[in-house]
Structure 1
Amino acid sequence: MELNGNWEEEEEDEEEFEFSRNYFLAKELASSAKKSKSKNRVTDINVVDEQELREAAWQIEPKHESEIVLLLDSYKTKYPEWLLALRCGFGLLMYGFGSKKALIEDFASTALTEYAVVVINGYLQAINLKQVLIALAEVLWDQMKAKRRVSYRDLPMSQQSFHSQSMDDLLTFLDQVEIEDGGFFVGVVIHNIDGPGLRDSETQQCLARLAACARIRVVASIDHVNAPLFWDKNMAHTQFNWCWYHVPTFAPYKVEGMFYPLILAHGSANQTVKTATIVLLSLTSNAQSVFKVLAEHQLCHPEEGNARDQLVIVMRKQKLIKSLMTVKKHLSKMHKHRLVNLLRYFDAQNCSYILVNNQTLKEFLEEVL
């Protein structure tokens, strides 16, 4: 009996030892596995070319196409209501999941055939809002000329002078236009009013002033959940004067997504030039001159940036820009659009550096400037 008891105790000890041994072996294996995982980095991911990735994305077969078509057709019954809201002085704000581009364009081409329509693609990375105001001013100017049947000299502005006017002057003109036809207005369609090219406060305030003009009606779409935070009470209820419509379409954002950088894709030099071209063409001629001087200096001195003071001296010699504040304003705009990088050197000088390699920059200067 005593031998049997000792044997059972030894067997229990062996089981406990085996359990402990297995436990620590498992911990050791888990620890080594964690160490091996920690060596992996995001930069080690084998990314593909952006164009190749976009082509693959376009080839993805859409789902529920017939249901989406039926849903879009169901919204057509609301077109008369939307048109009535515009005639009564309201703006239309479309929200809901899915791209609303096709829906709004169909509404404009179907219900607004008697009115002029100007389209703003807010999903673009950069938008020249002044060109939009000029286009609207020209449309209203032509309408004034046709309706009032007055001579060229009697009009407050000439069509040729719009390009030389400031944005404040253009907005004042749009707000003070007098046309005998009381029901006439110009529709402004804004796809993605919360898009990257329209998100700053100054642009939103300008759009609000535009929407408040007597002969302007805005039809816009939003997609970001926090987009209404762009507007205060006065902007939303008085200037834009929104009528909110929940119109989920569940349609893919194919067109809008083309202008956003893709994750897991290499950014090619061609794409960099394309993006820089869009940004630069949206800037004023003076800003383009600043960029050209920066680019020429960077090509000659690739290892250093261009100090602001030195930049002003060069601009003054070329009789382009005289004020340091003007140069700072243009550089800040370029930095905002990630066209240049602002650096501070050891001697406390603020320097600017264009964020492309020299070969790409040289091609860009030859093609654009």
Structure 2
Amino acid sequence: MKNPPSGDLDTREEEGEEHELRFSRNYFLARELGGTHRKKTAGKLSDIDHIDEQVLRAAAFEIKPENEEEIAALLERYKEQYRKWLFELRCGFGLLMYGFGSKKVLLEDFATATLADYDVIVINGYLPSINIKQVLVTIAELLQDHQMKGKRNSFSGNRQKTQQSFNIQSIDDLLSYLNEPVVDFKDSFICVIVHNIDGPALRDSESQHYLARLACCSNIRVIASIDHVNAPLLWDKKMAHTQFNWCWYHVPTFAPYKVEGVFFPLILAAGTVAQSARTATIVLQSLTPNAQSIFKILAEYQLNNEKEEGMPVSTLYTKCRERFLVSSRVTLNSHLTEFKDHELVKTRKHSDGQDCLYVPLSSEALHKLLADLG
């Protein structure tokens, strides 16, 4: 094999050096641009100019849905399972629907198309507040209608008295009544549809406990949907497999959460007074009664002394000791740390140098917050 001419070697060496130089330049240029990018993205969400919530929601509702034909075909395939779902309800199982997208339309279509021979009660779990006892009273009254079928006219007075007694009965008594066998009701049951059984108002252990007891009543069948990724953590093994007795179905609909999302604040929207008060109320309700009372003292002081820079820590400690809310400064500091972690309370320096506490909410929001706390 002949060696290549020396001129070709020189050319290749020059091309190699030029390639390495170009690579080095690109490397340092990329590093420089990367540093600039990091500096630009190092801002905070609070630095963004927020817009009015109503404007943002109106813009969100105007977004045109995509892949409508494919989504419609997907929902048609789910309709093929309606008879199977009904069979499982008749066998004593509960139905739990999960997957991306709102399942509200799907569950209501299933109820309309398949559950026409049954009584159906809908619970909107995405609402900010739900009265579980009132739901049980409504179901009990509906079950009573079956017991008094054909005798409503002659016993209308008795029916009214019984309805009034449902309102004064305890939840345990209502659940016991719902579990009693009903004449001519063996092959029938009441369907309870719960949209978002993992909704914020139903996530507490007490609500889930009552819903699980309702689901295992002989006259009740529960059909529910979940959307939170950690929703199964709401139930232990007994609740999931014995009381709710779930049949799990993955039914992604890819439908927007237009109805459910109305009750959630938008991140990029300017927070209103009601939203700020509601958010703070939710956080405070998760704390101990003593912590709530301490916060009330601070909020009331701020409302009565709006011109001051805040409430001195020593003053707050004195008032808390007078009301037997804390036994030491350490206890108060632990409550204050919790408030600060949730951004309910902030600290700033008074003109005389001492630390003062204040609530970062407007007076209007504070009034609403105190009213919500009762």
Hey, what does 1:265 align to over in structure 2?
A: 269
CA distance in 2, matches of 1:112, 1:272: 41
Deviations 1:126-168 (A, max 9, x none): 322122111111111222222788968999x821022222222
Secondary structure at the counterpart of residue 254 of structure 1: coil
Give the drift of 1:265: 1.4
1:304-343 to 2 correspondences below 5 Å: none
Name the CA shift for 1:216/1:356 in 2 (closer, same or farther; >3 Å). farther
2:108 aligned with 1:105: yes
- Deviates further, 50-59 or 172-181: 172-181
Secondary structure at the counterpart of residue 193 of structure 2: strand
Hey, what does 2:143 align to over in structure 1?
A: 140
2:341 aligned with 1:357: no
Give the total of aligned pairs.
Answer: 319
Give the drift of 1:362: 5.3
CA distance in 2, matches of 1:134, 1:355: 41
Name the CA shift for 1:362/1:225 in 2 (closer, same or farther; >3 Å). closer
2:197 aligned with 1:193: yes
Name the CA shift for 1:29/1:214 in 2 (closer, same or farther; >3 Å). closer
Residue type of the alignment partner of 1:357: S
Task: Judge conservation of contact 2:273–2:364 (CA < 8 Å) in 1.
Answer: no
Identity %: 50
From 42, 64, 69, the equivalent of 2:67 is 64
Hey, what does 1:83 align to over in structure 2?
A: 86
Task: Judge conservation of contact 1:147–1:180 (CA < 8 Å) in 2.
Answer: no
Give the drift of 1:258: 1.8
Task: Judge conservation of contact 2:118–2:188 (CA < 8 Å) in 1.
Answer: yes
TM-score under structure 1 length normalisation: 0.67
CA distance in 1, matches of 2:190, 2:240: 20
Task: Judge conservation of contact 2:198–2:228 (CA < 8 Å) in 1.
Answer: yes
Deviations 1:245-291 (A, max 9, x none): 22222222221222222121111125457x58x98xxxxxxxxxx9x
Name the CA shift for 1:88/1:37 in 2 (closer, same or farther; >3 Å). closer
Task: Judge conservation of contact 2:265–2:275 (CA < 8 Å) in 1.
Answer: no
Task: Judge conservation of contact 1:148–1:180 (CA < 8 Å) in 2.
Answer: no
Name the CA shift for 1:101/1:38 in 2 (closer, same or farther; >3 Å). closer
From 196, 200, 210, the equivalent of 1:206 is 210
CA distance in 1, matches of 2:303, 2:269: 28
Residue type of the alignment partner of 1:186: I
Give the drift of 1:238: 1.4
Secondary structure at the counterpart of residue 109 of structure 2: helix
Name the CA shift for 1:225/1:361 in 2 (closer, same or farther; >3 Å). closer
Task: Judge conservation of contact 1:148–1:179 (CA < 8 Å) in 2.
Answer: no
Name the CA shift for 1:241/1:147 in 2 (closer, same or farther; >3 Å). farther
CA distance in 1, matches of 2:139, 2:320: 37
Name the CA shift for 1:342/1:109 in 2 (closer, same or farther; >3 Å). farther
2:63 aligned with 1:55: no
1:261-300 to 2 correspondences below 5 Å: 261-272=265-276, 275=278, 299-300=303-304
From 184, 187, 212, the equivalent of 1:180 is 184
Name the CA shift for 1:44/1:298 in 2 (closer, same or farther; >3 Å). closer
1:239-254 to 2 correspondences below 5 Å: 239-254=243-258
Hey, what does 2:134 align to over in structure 1?
A: 131
CA distance in 1, matches of 2:369, 2:191: 36
Task: Judge conservation of contact 2:102–2:256 (CA < 8 Å) in 1.
Answer: yes
CA distance in 1, matches of 2:90, 2:41: 62
Residue type of the alignment partner of 2:69: S
Task: Judge conservation of contact 1:185–1:217 (CA < 8 Å) in 2.
Answer: yes
Secondary structure at the counterpart of residue 146 of structure 1: coil
CA distance in 1, matches of 2:275, 2:243: 38
TM-score under structure 2 length normalisation: 0.67
CA distance in 2, matches of 1:354, 1:169: 43
Residue type of the alignment partner of 1:125: P
